[in-house]
Amino acid sequence: MTNYKDLGLVNTRDMFAKAVKGGYAIPAYNFNNLEQLQAIIQACVETKSPVILQVSSGARKYANSNLLRNMARGAVEYAHELGYDIPVVLHLDHGDSFELCKDCIESGFSSVMIDGSHLSYDENVALTKNVCEYAHQYDVTVEGELGVLAGVEDDVSSEVSHYTMPEEVEDFVKKTGVDSLAISIGTSHGRTKFTPEQCTKNADGVLIPPPLRFDILEEIEKRIPGFPIVLHGSSSVPIEYVKMIEQYGGSLPNSVGIPEEQLRKAAKSAVCKINIDSDGRLAMTAAIRKVLSEKPDEFDPRKYLGPARDELKKLYSHKNANVLGSAGQA
């Protein structure tokens, strides 16, 4: 067994307490490869932001658990090399079984999510409690989920969303012993977070999504004051990246995300972790398509993955400073 502390990682407990008190959210960036990880660490060191490195079960299969563990160790050392030691969490995103969470804990993860939101309430409680009891033996923090997000992300998919029921949260937190809670207030996975019918259009024809259900968030805060809340499916789907991808041969119709001003509002509340995956995918894809379109004879991966990494770094620095409020908090 590898303990995360031996890798230089931290869990989310102190990180979340400071974020709730300080009115900002910790960035939780998904990564699958070296360039994504470099961009995350570079951006967070330069903005002096704590960070959660997120790995989905699909990413874990793609990248290999042994490589991921050592990439996380390398991320901590890389931050030190760049001149500023930031708190780094390695987190399992959307774990769907006790066995997967256990395996991640034993391979050096400092935080895991157990997503039992597709189960009945009682089954979700039982599964989450089981994971918490095992994880807490090793001081690993656990994120649970109440409510279901629509959309598709790796192995997680749902055609419909179900808002979190505020009347359930206090009981769920008490019975499970969970350290943080992911809720559903209108965010969703993927780049098409809403159907065109759910949106309005501005003068330029850009889709404008319906507002998040801050009334649900406020009611949850009243019932479990100060408890760490998490938002999944919170990419903004920047229109400039969508247009760039389409300019260079891609097709991403009806792309729409969560407006950044709504995420900033959420970050000032008890929402202390905001998950961002699709935005990074879009930035990286846009940069790669641009290079390969402008230089069709290019075949050195460094020549297109390098610009993609630079675009990711720019995006993440912006998120930390202007959306999440995490810059300067490490």
What tokens were used for 88?
Answer: 């780094």
What tokens were used for 58?
Answer: 């699909």
| Number of folded domains that form the chain | 1
266 in any annotated domain: yes
List strand residue ranges (DSSP E) for the chain, in order: 26-30, 51-56, 88-95, 111-114, 141-146, 151-153, 156-158, 180-183, 200-201, 207-208, 229-231, 271-276
The count of C-alpha atoms lying within 13 angstroms of the C-alpha of 295, restricted to the half-sphere facing its C-beta, is 10
Nearest 10 degrees: Cα torsion 35, 242, 51, 115: -110
| AA letter at 139 | D
Is residue 325 within 8 Å of 23, Cβ to Cβ? yes
- Which pLDDT belongs to residue 195? 77
**What's this model's pTM, rounded to 2 decimal places?**
0.94
* Residue numbers of the chain with a pLDDT score lower than 50: 151-153, 156-159
The count of C-alpha atoms lying within 13 angstroms of the C-alpha of 158, restricted to the half-sphere facing its C-beta, is 17
Q: CA nearest 313: which of 122, 106, 44, 109?
A: 44
100 in any annotated domain: yes
Q: CA nearest 158: which of 123, 100, 126, 119?
A: 119
Q: Which of 6, 85, 93, 139 is catalytic?
A: 93
Read off the CATH number of the domain in which 87 is found: 3.20.20.70
- Which pLDDT belongs to residue 157? 43
- Which pLDDT belongs to residue 86? 98
Taking the CB of residue 250, how many other CB atoms lie within 10 A of it? 15
Specify the DSSP element, H or E, that contains 302. Answer: helix 301-318
Is residue 313 within 8 Å of 49, Cβ to Cβ? no
For residue 179, which phi and psi values (nearest 5 degrees)? -95, -25
Query: How many angstroms from the chain centroid is the CA of residue 67?
Result: 20
- Which pLDDT belongs to residue 47? 98
330 in any annotated domain: no
Is 93 a known active-site residue? yes
1 in any annotated domain: no
- Which pLDDT belongs to residue 150? 54
Is residue 228 within 8 Å of 270, Cβ to Cβ? yes
5 in any annotated domain: no
161 in any annotated domain: yes
pLDDT, tens only, 196-228: 778 788 877 777 788 899 999 999 999 999 999
CA dist list (Å): 42 to 12, 234, 236: 20, 22, 21
Q: Compute the distance between CA of residue 4 and CA of residue 68 in angstroms, rounded to an integer.
A: 12
What tokens were used for 97?
Answer: 């079984």
218 in any annotated domain: yes
227 in any annotated domain: yes
pLDDT, tens only, 277-299: 999 999 999 999 999 999 999 99
pLDDT, tens only, 246-276: 999 999 998 888 999 999 999 999 999 999 9
> For residue 128, what are the domain limits?
11-324
- Which pLDDT belongs to residue 202? 83
- Which pLDDT belongs to residue 161? 59
